[in-house]
């Protein structure tokens, strides 16, 4: 903490700008502690609070605008990349699409307060064509709320921040090592949960070529599309596919048969959502259920037809 204070005193608002920019660009270096300490220092007249807020919001907007442009130009590959590097990739895109589909651009007002939502939401806004002025308006207000809360906490609890700094100074390097060890333990735990999740999803998959052969031979399996309505509207569906809510299988399609072939697909890393639905169907007595390897993206890449 003392090193953080030293950096803020030495480099001032430029350090705040670079830290916020790096975090919003995807570097796992939480900027909130910096903003809180900066707010406490601003309360002691080290620099102006309005300038601190302006720098933090500007850095966040620059990073978010870069994700917006990436989403607009590259589309879903950007979303898939973000979710592959996420520590919780199974529902990364699907949950973001569901929130954005329900609330639209106003969801950006709270995006930075939801772990894993902000970067995906900004890229998604670009990929679905949210007007730039609408994106900048709501994202700018959201960035101001996010930064303003941190700076406000620093101002309100400036004495408590000073007490924490003094305690950490007493611990010296051991306090710093404890913080680093806690962060490393958190990342290791999330990585272990991710690997365990992937092991649970190991099951036989069907390739897009095998599915195409089945359809050509007239062997018509029931094909379930478990993507969000937003994703289906953007990219279309495999011909004959039935949209299904991946979060609830209470209302199963009438076409499902316990003895029939069922193919489930999505557009997520490792076919995570499709495999989860397939597992639940197997547990409910459907014996011939397989996820589609590569999902809708592999189907499109192979040049096969889609319906919109």
Query: pLDDT tens digits for 162-218?
Result: 665 555 555 555 655 665 676 677 667 766 766 665 565 566 788 999 999 988 888
Q: Which of 199, 228, 257 is the last residue of a domain?
A: 199
143 and 218 belong to one structural domain: no
CA–CA separation, 109 vs 256, rounded Å?
Answer: 41
**Co-location of 42 and 187 in the same domain:** yes
Is the domain of 214 the same as that of 192?
no
- Same domain assignment for residues 49 and 67: yes
- How many domains does one find in the chain? 2
| 193 and 227 co-located in one domain | no
| Residue ending a domain, choose from 199, 233, 258 | 199
CB 184 within 8 A of CB 226: no
% residues pLDDT > 70 (the chain): 72
Identify whether residues 135 and 237 lie together within a single domain.
no
Nearest to 65 by CA among 142, 7, 123: 123
| Confidence at residue 55, expressed as pLDDT on a 0 to 100 scale | 94
pLDDT of residue 58: 96
Q: Are residues 48 and 134 in the same domain?
A: yes
CATH assignment of the domain containing 271:
3.40.250.10
- Which residues lie below 8 Å from residue 106, measured CB to CB, with a gap of 6+? 138
Domain assignment of residue 242, given as a range: 208-301
Report which of residues 19 and 117 the model is more confident about.
19
Strands 261-265 and 222-225, sheet pairing: parallel
Q: Where are the beta strands (DSSP E) in the chain?
A: 222-225, 242-243, 261-265, 288-291
Q: Assign 283 a pLDDT band (cuts: 50, 70, 90).
A: confident
Do 186 and 249 sit in the same domain of this protein?
no
DSSP annotation string for 214-283: HHHTT---EEEE-S-HHHHHHH-B-TT-EE--TT--SS--TT--TTSEEEEE-SSGGGHHHHHHHHHHHH
Cβ distance 138 to 105 under 8 Å?
A: yes
For residue 307, tell me if it sits in a domain. no
Q: Is residue 15 domain-shared with residue 142, that is, in the same domain? A: yes
Question: Which phi and psi (to 5°) does residue 49 adopt?
Answer: -65, -40
Residues 179 and 284 reside in one and the same domain: no
- Smallest Cα–Cα separation from 150: which of 65, 60, 72, 79? 60
What is the spatial distance between Cα 147 and Cα 54, in angstroms, rounded to a whole number?
A: 9
The encoded tokens of residue 208 equal 């897009």
Confidence of residue 9 (pLDDT cuts 50, 70, 90): low
Query: Does residue 284 belong to any structural domain of this protein?
Result: yes
Average pLDDT, the chain: 79
Indicate if the alpha-carbon torsion angle 145, 146, 148, 154 is positive or negative.
positive
Q: Does 296 lie in the same domain as 222? A: yes
Residues 121, 50: one domain? yes
Please tell me the number of Cα atoms within 13 Å of 240 on its side-chain side: 14
Q: pLDDT, tens digit, for every residue of 30-69?
A: 888 888 888 887 776 667 888 999 999 999 999 999 999 9
Domain-ending residue, one of 167, 199, 231: 199
Q: What are phi and psi of 259, to 5 degrees?
A: -100, -5
Q: How much is the pLDDT for 91?
A: 55
């Amino acid at each position: 903490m003392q090193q953080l204070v030293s950096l803020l005193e030495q480099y001032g608002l430029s350090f705040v700008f670079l830290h916020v920019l790096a975090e919003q660009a995807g570097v796992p270096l939480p900027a909130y502690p910096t903003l809180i300490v900066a707010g406490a220092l601003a309360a002691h007249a080290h620099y102006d609070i309005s300038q601190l807020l302006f720098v933090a919001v500007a850095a966040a907007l620059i990073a978010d605008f870069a994700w917006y442009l990436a989403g607009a130009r590259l589309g879903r590959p950007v979303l898939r990349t973000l979710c592959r590097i996420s520590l919780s990739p199974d529902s990364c895109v699907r949950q973001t699409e569901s929130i954005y589909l329900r609330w639209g651009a106003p969801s950006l007002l709270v995006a930075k307060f939801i772990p894993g939502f902000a970067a995906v939401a900004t890229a998604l806004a670009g990929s679905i064509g949210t007007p730039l002025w609408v994106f900048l308006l709501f994202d700018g207000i959201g960035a101001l709320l996010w930064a303003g809360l941190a700076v406000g906490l620093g101002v309100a609890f400036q004495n408590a921040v000073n007490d924490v700094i003094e305690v950490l100074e007493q611990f010296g390097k051991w306090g710093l090592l404890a913080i680093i060890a806690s962060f490393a333990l958190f990342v290791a735990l999330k990585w272990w949960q991710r690997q365990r999740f992937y092991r649970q999803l190991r099951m036989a998959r069907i390739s897009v070529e095998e599915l195409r052969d089945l359809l050509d031979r007239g062997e018509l399996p029931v094909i379930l599309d478990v993507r969000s309505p937003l994703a289906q509207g953007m990219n279309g569906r495999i011909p004959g596919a039935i949209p299904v809510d991946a979060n609830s299988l209470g209302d199963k399609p009438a076409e499902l048969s316990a003895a029939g072939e069922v193919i489930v697909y999505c557009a997520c890393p490792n076919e995570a959502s499709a495999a989860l639905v397939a597992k639940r169907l197997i547990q409910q007595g459907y014996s011939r259920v397989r996820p589609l390897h590569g999902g809708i993206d592999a189907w499109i890449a192979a040049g096969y037809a889609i319906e919109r």
